[in-house]
Amino acid sequence: MNYLHISINVIVMAAIYTKYSLPNNTLSFITKAYKNTIFFGPNHIVRNIFNQKTNNEAFDIIVVGGGMVGTTLACALANNKCLQSKKILLLEAGNKQKYVSNDQYSNRVVALNKYSKLLLSNIGAWKHIQSHRFTPIVKMQIWDAYSDAMLTFNDDYLSQALAYIVENDLLLHAVHTQLSKKKSVTIINNAKVEHINLSNNIGIDSNILLKSGENFKAKLLIGADGQMSKVRDAMGVKYVDWDYDQMGIVATVKLCETIENVAWQRFLPNGTIALLPLTNSLCSLVWCITTEEAKRLLQISEEEFIDNLNDAFLKVYPKDELVKCGMQAFKKLFENFQLPSAVSRQLQPSIAGIVDGSRAAFPLGFGHALHYVQPGVALVGDAAHRVNPLAGQGVNLGFGDVTVLVEVLAKAVNNGALIGDTTYLHNYESIRLKYNIPTMLTIDALHRLYKTTASPIILARSLGLQLTNIVKPLKNFLIKHAAGTENI
Partner 1 sequence: MNFVLSISTTVNLKENESAKSKSTTVDTKELNKFSNLCQNWWNPNGEMGPLHTMNPLRIQFIKDGLKNVGFVENSPNYPFKGLMLLDVGCGGGILSEPLARIGANVTGLDASKELVAIANEHKKLDESISSNLSYVNKSVEEFSEETTEKYDVVVASEILEHVIDQSLFLKSCVKLLKPKGSIFITTINKNLISYLAGIIGAEYILQVLPIGTHDWNKFISPEDTRRLLNECNCNTRLIHGLLYNPMTYQWSWTPLKSINYALHAVKNECL
Which residues here bind partner 1, judged by CB under 8 A? 81-82, 85, 202-204, 375, 411, 413-418, 421-424, 430
* Residue 251: strand, helix, or coil: strand
Query: Which residue lies nearer to partner 1 by CB, 186 or 422?
Result: 422
Query: Which residue lies nearer to partner 1 by CB, 80 or 107?
Result: 80
Cβ neighbors of 128 (< 8 A, separation 6 or more) are: 173, 174, 177, 178
Q: Which element (helix H / strand E) includes 273?
A: strand 271-277
Query: Which residue lies nearer to partner 1 by CB, 58 or 339?
Result: 58
Query: Which residue lies nearer to partner 1 by CB, 263 or 413?
Result: 413
Query: Which residue lies nearer to partner 1 by CB, 219 or 386?
Result: 219
Task: State the nearest-atom distance from the C-beta of 8 to partner 1, in Å.
Answer: 29
Task: State the nearest-atom distance from the C-beta of 79 to partner 1, in Å.
Answer: 13
Query: Which residue lies nearer to partner 1 by CB, 86 or 386?
Result: 86
CB atoms within 10 A of CB 252: 23
Cα(186)–Cα(198) distance, integer angstroms: 21
Task: State the nearest-atom distance from the C-beta of 92 to partner 1, in Å.
Answer: 28
Task: State the nearest-atom distance from the C-beta of 450 to partner 1, in Å.
Answer: 36
Nearest to 218 by CA among 210, 231, 232, 208: 208
Query: Which residue lies nearer to partner 1 by CB, 296 or 411?
Result: 411
Query: Which residue lies nearer to partner 1 by CB, 85 or 280?
Result: 85
Helices 68-79 and 114-122, axial angle in degrees (round to 10) = 50
Cα(86)–Cα(82) distance, integer angstroms: 9
Task: State the nearest-atom distance from the C-beta of 421 to partner 1, in Å.
Answer: 8
Cβ neighbors of 287 (< 8 A, separation 6 or more) are: 248, 249, 250, 251, 271, 272, 273, 274, 294, 297, 309, 312
Cα(200)–Cα(235) distance, integer angstroms: 9
Task: State the nearest-atom distance from the C-beta of 410 to partner 1, in Å.
Answer: 8
Give the helix ranges, DSSP H, for 133-273. 168-179, 230-235
Task: State the nearest-atom distance from the C-beta of 187 to partner 1, in Å.
Answer: 23
CB 420 within 8 A of CB 428: no
Task: State the nearest-atom distance from the C-beta of 128 to partner 1, in Å.
Answer: 27
Task: State the nearest-atom distance from the C-beta of 120 to partner 1, in Å.
Answer: 23
Q: Which element (helix H / strand E) includes 187?
A: strand 185-188
Cα(39)–Cα(334) distance, integer angstroms: 47
Query: Which residue lies nearer to partner 1 by CB, 328 or 414?
Result: 414
Per DSSP, the residues of 34-76 read TGGGEEE-------S-SPPPS-EEEEEEEEE--SHHHHHHHHH
